[in-house]
Chains A and B, each alone.
Chain A
């Protein structure tokens, strides 16, 4: 079946650098995407979402980019901080569906 997948399971960046976490999806009918952050021992927390009629959406230090041509979603984190260390999940909603489909997750490690 179609599912959301992540290109890299782990990513290490230097503190202060920008991070880019990627996500590939295969269902062209998906119309809504979300990024979640999960810190150790906690449940996933909402970071930012984007609908399929948008290409870019910005939040505080985070930007989500959606490229529907190649079915690619990315999360950019500016000036990463130690508190950004976590596992990041992307999720998609198939148009008309009730549930979200989650990707595998990328572990982001911030090096001092």
Chain B
């Protein structure tokens, strides 16, 4: 079963609203990532973190922001949602130091629709 949790699974929200997508993992992983993905399409890295108080922007420019105050929690915030933000947002974590390889564990995603 998944050890990384994303809430909500689905969110429909009006333009201009502030939203926070939650991501939590119970594996103690240092590294966490946010990807944006249109259905069946490429994964685009928008934010990542290699530990508490460490956050970096990814390869795809995003108007969202992230924070990493606790190891297990990596929330993503949109201050003012727009229809162009409609997408699926996937959170992932990894910890190469555990000897499990460099693979990521993904959450189930949040499907965001901005109307």
Contact = CB atoms under 8 A, between A and B. Distances in A.
B41 interface: yes
A100 B42 contact: no
Given A34-B102, A44-B43, 16 more contacts: A32-B101, A32-B102, A34-B101, A41-B108, A41-B109, A42-B109, A43-B2, A43-B107, A46-B104, A87-B40, A99-B45, A99-B48, A100-B102, A100-B103, A102-B42, A103-B42
Instruction: Categorize the interface residue count of chain A.
Output: 20 to 34
Interface of A: 32, 34, 36, 40-46, 49, 87, 89, 93, 98-100, 102-105, 107
Interface residues of B, number: 24
Interface in B89-115: 90, 92, 101-109, 111
A29 B74 CA distance: 31
B106 A45 contact: yes
B101 A49 contact: yes
Nearest to A43: B106
Most A CB contacts (10 A, CB to CB) among B40, B48, B111 go to B40
Given A43-B106, A43-B108, A44-B90, A98 B31 contact: yes
A34 B104 CA distance: 9
Report whether over half of chain B's contact residues are helix, strand or loop; otherwise say mixed: loop
A36 B105 CA distance: 10
Contacts of A93: 102
Given A98-B50, A99-B45, A99-B48, A46 B103 contact: yes
A13 B99 CA distance: 36
Contacts of B109: 41-43
Contact of A49 (B39, B41, B103, B107): B103
18 contacts: A34-B101, A34-B102, A40-B39, A41-B108, A42-B108, A42-B109, A43-B106, A43-B108, A44-B106, A87-B40, A99-B45, A99-B48, A100-B104, A102-B43, A103-B42, A104-B41, A105-B40, A105-B41
